[in-house]
């Protein structure tokens, strides 16, 4: 697939990184800064073009003529929209994905039609990150919550602690603990390595467990993994940027939200947008301010400013001052690894969140969706089986008959919104959502082919 990425910012660079690792893709990146591009080309096997991303001549030089997909990820919404328009009108690019930050544009759905601004998929990183954090707050104790089968079922990651009911016991006893729920454990990671999930596998303290369950059963499952935390009530958000203010807006009806913003003008603006949340003007790393606002009673402290270093420091401070749980927005993967072992409970990587969602759209149609787990160390793939036994390589076959690549394992099936445990003799039906875990991303292409309804395959 020929992919054209416009903008080599954080999201653009990591999209280029992920896509160029797959052999079938030919990636070209456009940016105005030759320095960033040179640095990027040193690391990745891609072509780079210097220039303004929306200019027809630049797009032409970047090979828009035969590109299959354009992903516009520049800083500016307007540039992204015009670039997609140019790609559509002049180069007839089939798929156009753009990052649209402004909620105003996002809300105007009629704007993005083929005869107005032809963008097929709009991605708002702020919104994605906001949703992601919201879910983590909604299900306390989880480290990752992903929607499967259009949100009917969820894939949840959590770290097992000694208070979990299942910890120290065989997985097979899960049935006895919670007899009336659908769901299963999909993967276990111990010390960064994945374990085979068998009936007699024993979960230990510190394991990272991924399970698939119905939305309503998640709390029950969580209690199996760790001590059940009380629902979150008091939330403090540090940083009133796009993500912070959106999150405050999303949470203010159900929780007590305080938001700390350094800039008084911005603070005033946010306070006008919010109804119940309290907007505080000040520094999130100001000990006095935090104490005054009863930081020791706060259930969740989210550091969401633009500076990741500031996020790390202020959330460490909040933790020391007594906040029950702290989350920080951290972009660099190396920082994430550094912090999650230490005093920060959840490190949120906006890049990772955005990339996961972006890549899911880059894939062909609805066949395969990719979720990055554990900051990219593994992938959860959700593939929809189509067709009948003759057309498909998976439908009508037992799981043991399917020719899976090395490092891939089918974890569960979702059929009509219900989770079905994948035994070796479970037969896959059409329209099943098959959830696979994959350790080697390069095998994705193979999986794509596996789930494609092939005319050539008889």
Partner 1 sequence: MNWTVVQRILGLLLMMFSVTMLPPIIVSMIFDEQSWLPFVEGFALTLFAGLITWFPVRKLRKELRLRDGFVVVAAFWTVLGTFGAAPLYFADEITLSVTDAVFESMSGLTTTGATILTGLDALPRSILYYRQQLQWLGGMGIIVLAVAVLPMLGVGGMQLYRAETPGPVKDTKLTPRITETAKALWYVYLAFTIACTVAYMIAGMGWFDAICHAFSTVAIGGFSTHDMSIGYFDSPAIDVVAIIFMFAAGINFSLHFYAWRFVSIRHYAQDPEFRAYTAFLITISALVVAILFQQQHYANPGQTLINGLFQAVSIATTTGYTTANFSAWPAALPVVLILASFVGGSAGSTAGGIKVIRWLLIYKQGMREIVRLVHPSAEIPVKLGNKAVQYRVVDAVWGFFSVYVVVFAVLMVAMMSTGLDQVTAFSAMAATLNNLGPGLGDVASGFQTVSDIGKWIAIVGMLLGRLEIFTLLVLITPTFWRH
Interface residues with partner 1 (CB under 8 A) are 2, 20, 23, 26-28, 34, 38, 41-48, 63
* Cα separation, 16 vs 345, whole angstroms: 29
Shortest spacing between CB 3 and partner 1, in angstroms: 8
Sheet holding 95-99, edge to edge: 47-50, 26-31, 2-6, 69-72, 95-99, 121-123
CA distances for 421 relative to 47, 200, 389, 431, angstroms: 44, 16, 21, 16
Question: What minimum distance in Å lies between the beta carbon of 363 and partner 1?
Answer: 19
Which CB atom, from 63 or from 417, has the smaller least distance to partner 1? 63
Shortest gap between Cβ of 4 and partner 1 (angstroms)? Answer: 9
Give 30 or 383: the residue with its C-beta nearer to partner 1.
30
**Contact between residue 177 and residue 165 where contact means Cβ atoms under 8 Å apart:** yes
Closest separation in Å from C-beta 25 to partner 1 = 8
Dist CA 317 CA 299 (whole Å): 15
Nearer to partner 1, 23 or 425 (CB): 23
Q: How many CB atoms lie within 10 A of CB 269?
A: 15
273 and 252 Cβ atoms separated by less than 8 Å: no
Tokens of 138: 């909604």
Element (H, E) at 326: strand 325-329
| Rounded Cα–Cα distance for residues 253 and 223 (Å) | 26
Least Å distance between CB 138 and partner 1?
A: 40
Please name the residues in contact with 340: beta carbons below 8 A apart, sequence gap of 6 or more. Answer: 346, 347
Question: What is the Cα 424 distance to its own chain's centre?
Answer: 29
Q: Is residue 203 classed as helix, strand or coil in its secondary structure? A: coil
CA 364 to each of CA 142, 284, 384, 449: distance values in angstroms, whole numbers, following the listed order: 30, 43, 12, 10
Nearest distance from residue 82's CB to partner 1, in Å?
23
- What is the DSSP code (8-state) at residue 427? B
Contact 398, 424 (CB under 8 A): yes
Instruction: Answer whether 63's CB lies under 8 Å from 2's CB.
Output: yes
In the chain the first and final C-alpha atoms are separated, in Å, by: 25
β pairing state of 69-72 and 47-50: unpaired
* In the complex, least distance from residue 277 CB atom to partner 1, rounded to whole angstroms: 47
Report in angstroms how near the CB of residue 80 gets to partner 1 at its nearest. Answer: 21
Please tell me the distance from the alpha carbon of residue 66 to that of residue 52, in angstroms, as a whole number. Answer: 19
| Distance in angstroms (rounded) separating the CA atoms of residues 183 and 194 | 19
Q: Tell me whether residue 16 or residue 218 sits nearer to partner 1 (CB atom).
A: 16
State the nearest-atom distance from the C-beta of 28 to partner 1, in Å: 5
Element (H, E) at 334: helix 333-340
Q: Output 71 or 346, the one with its CB closest to partner 1.
A: 71
Nearest residue (CB) to partner 1, 95 versus 154:
95
CA distance 343 to 453: 48
- Cβ nearer to partner 1, comparing 322 with 405: 405
**Closer residue to partner 1, CB minimum distance, 37 or 422:** 37
**Could you tell me the smallest distance in angstroms from the CB atom of residue 47 to partner 1?**
4
Of 44 and 278, the one with the shorter C-beta distance to partner 1 is 44
Give me the least distance between CB of 21 and partner 1, in Å please. 9
Q: How far is the CB of 118 from partner 1 (least distance, A)?
A: 24
Q: Token digits for 361?
A: 């759209």
3-state secondary structure of 375: helix
For partner 1, the closer CB: 431 or 440: 440
């Amino acid at each position: 697939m020929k992919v054209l990425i416009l903008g080599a910012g954080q999201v653009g660079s990591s999209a280029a990184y992920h896509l160029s690792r797959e052999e079938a893709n030919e990636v070209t990146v456009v940016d105005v800064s030759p320095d960033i591009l040179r640095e990027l080309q040193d690391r990745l096997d891609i072509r780079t073009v210097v220039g303004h991303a929306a200019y027809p001549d630049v797009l032409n030089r970047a090979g828009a003529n035969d590109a299959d997909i354009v992903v516009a990820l520049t800083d500016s919404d307007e540039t992204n929209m015009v670039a997609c328009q140019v790609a559509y009108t002049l180069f007839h690019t089939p798929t156009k994905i753009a990052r649209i930050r402004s909620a105003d544009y996002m809300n105007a759905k009629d704007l993005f039609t083929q005869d107005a601004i032809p963008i097929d998929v709009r991605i708002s990183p702020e919104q994605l990150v906001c949703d992601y954090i919201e879910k983590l707050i909604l299900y306390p104790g989880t480290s990752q919550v992903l929607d499967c089968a259009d949100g009917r079922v969820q894939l949840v990651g959590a770290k097992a602690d000694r208070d979990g009911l299942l910890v120290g016991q065989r997985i097979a006893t899960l049935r006895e603990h919670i007899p009336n729920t659908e769901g299963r454990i999909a993967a276990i990671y111990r010390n960064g390595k994945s374990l085979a999930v068998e009936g007699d596998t024993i979960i230990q303290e510190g394991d990272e467990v991924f399970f698939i369950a119905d939305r309503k059963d998640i709390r029950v499952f969580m209690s199996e993994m760790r001590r059940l935390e009380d629902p979150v009530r008091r939330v403090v958000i540090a940083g009133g940027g796009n993500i912070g203010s959106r999150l405050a807006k999303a949470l203010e009806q159900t929780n007590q939200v305080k938001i700390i913003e350094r800039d008084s003008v911005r603070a005033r603006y946010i306070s006008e947008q919010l109804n119940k949340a309290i907007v505080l003007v000040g520094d999130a790393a100001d000990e006095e301010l935090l104490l005054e606002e009863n930081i020791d009673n706060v259930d969740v402290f989210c550091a969401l400013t633009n500076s990741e270093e500031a996020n790390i420091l202020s959330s460490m401070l909040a933790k020391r001052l007594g906040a029950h749980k702290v989350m920080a927005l951290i972009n660099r993967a190396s920082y994430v690894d550094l912090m999650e072992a230490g005093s920060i409970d959840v490190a949120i990587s906006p890049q990772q969140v955005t990339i996961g969602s972006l890549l899911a759209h880059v894939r062909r149609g609805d066949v395969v969706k990719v979720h990055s787990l554990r900051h990219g160390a593994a992938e959860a793939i959700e593939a929809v089986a189509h067709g009948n036994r003759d057309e498909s390589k998976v439908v009508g076959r037992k799981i043991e008959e399917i020719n899976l690549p090395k490092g891939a394992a089918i974890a569960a099936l979702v059929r009509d919104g219900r989770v079905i445990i994948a035994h070796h003799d479970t037969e896959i039906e059409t329209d099943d959502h098959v959830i696979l875990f994959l350790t080697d991303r390069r095998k994705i292409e193979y999986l794509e082919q596996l789930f494609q309804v092939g005319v050539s395959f008889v």
